[in-house]
Amino acid sequence: MDTQNLRTFLTLADVKNFTQTAGLLYIAQSTVTNRIAELEKEVGRKLFIRNKKKLSLTREGLLFQEYARRIIDLEEMSIREMNSQAFSRASLRLGTTNTIYECHLAPLLTQMLKEDAGYAMNVTISHSVNLLQMLQDGLLDLSFTYQPLQKPGFCCQKFRTDELLLVTSQAHNHYQKGISKADLPKLNYLFCNFALQEVGQFIRELFPPFYQFPFEIDNSTKLAAYLCEGIGCSFLPSSLVKPYLENQSLISIPLLDFEAPRINSYQCWPEGKEPAFYL
């Protein structure tokens, strides 16, 4: 399958305009049309729905989009490794969620770089589901996620366990004695969509059905800045908020009549390709 056609397809899928796609790729518009036609002929399905006002992906196009990205990623990864100036070093492709990176991996990787451990490291930061798919596609050597990979051919072991703490700024110190489950919906709660284990479900069930949070974000490391400004409260991993608790810019609110689940993270790698070190 011609990767030029795949790149053209992915660009057109993003911008949804033949003229703009041609400009971005520095090719004629007719070339874009021909490449898409060749690709549709090769896969045997229409990938786009075309009319005068709108261009959109078909159901088959949406499905093919993910596979096309993975093929391009594989090609780019192989070229990068073969042409790396550090080709003589042992390659180590790490994947991690942002929270695990910020809380646990960054200090370890900093130490490895200072000691020059002899690796040519490439770090990818993404969500757990994407990282596990990349690991299975051979794009990563070691993955740190909040979801275990329970699949033949792969090894998975627990990496870290965090407490889940309800935190807020010193401005809300009237909660220092604690809060009950019934009173929690009265707070200005900033919601992080934890796509890990039972944590996301636990938090949602603390609030009424269809409750509208004043603020939602999918990256927990971005919430601390809002909390330190005196805006609301949120459940966050203990390792993430530890520095803020130590300098007293944030405080932890005790839970009076309920408990929060613990958060497990995992490191996963292909069976038979054990990493040269364990973090």
How does pLDDT run across 198-220, given as a tens digit for each residue?
787 888 889 998 888 999 988 88
Predicted local distance difference test score (pLDDT) of residue 194: 67
Q: Is the pLDDT of residue 253 over 70?
A: yes
pLDDT in tens, 99-151: 999 989 998 888 888 887 677 788 999 888 889 988 998 889 999 999 999 99
CA distance 204 to 200: 6
End-to-end CA distance of the chain: 39
CATH number for region 3-82: 1.10.10.10
For all residues of the chain together, what is the average pLDDT?
86
Predicted local distance difference test score (pLDDT) of residue 85: 52
Ramachandran quadrant class, 119 (left: phi over 0; alpha: psi -120 to 50; beta: rest): beta
Percent of the chain with pLDDT over 70: 92
Give the number of other Cβ atoms within 10 Å of residue 202's Cβ. 16
Q: Do domains 3-82 and 90-159 have the same CATH topology?
A: no
Q: Is the pLDDT of residue 83 over 70?
A: no
Predicted local distance difference test score (pLDDT) of residue 111: 86
Lowest mean pLDDT, pick from 84-88, 106-110, 189-193, 229-233: 84-88
Residue 89's pLDDT band (boundaries 50, 70, 90)?
A: low
Predicted local distance difference test score (pLDDT) of residue 87: 55
The topology (CATH level 3) of 164-261 is: D-Maltodextrin-Binding Protein; domain 2 (3.40.190)
How many residues belong to the chain? Answer: 279
The answer as to CATH 3.40.50.720 being correct for domain 90-159 is no
Q: Mean pLDDT, to the nearest integer, of 180-202?
A: 82
Helix axes 18-25, 3-15, angle to 10 degrees: 130
Q: Is the pLDDT of residue 195 over 60?
A: no
Name the amino acid, one letter, at 37. Answer: A
User: Any idea where the domains of the chain sit in the sequence?
Assistant: 3-82, 90-159, 164-261
Predicted local distance difference test score (pLDDT) of residue 171: 86
Predicted local distance difference test score (pLDDT) of residue 25: 87
The SS3 assignment for 272 reads coil
Contacts of 36 (CB under 8 A, 6+ apart): 5, 8, 9, 12, 47, 48
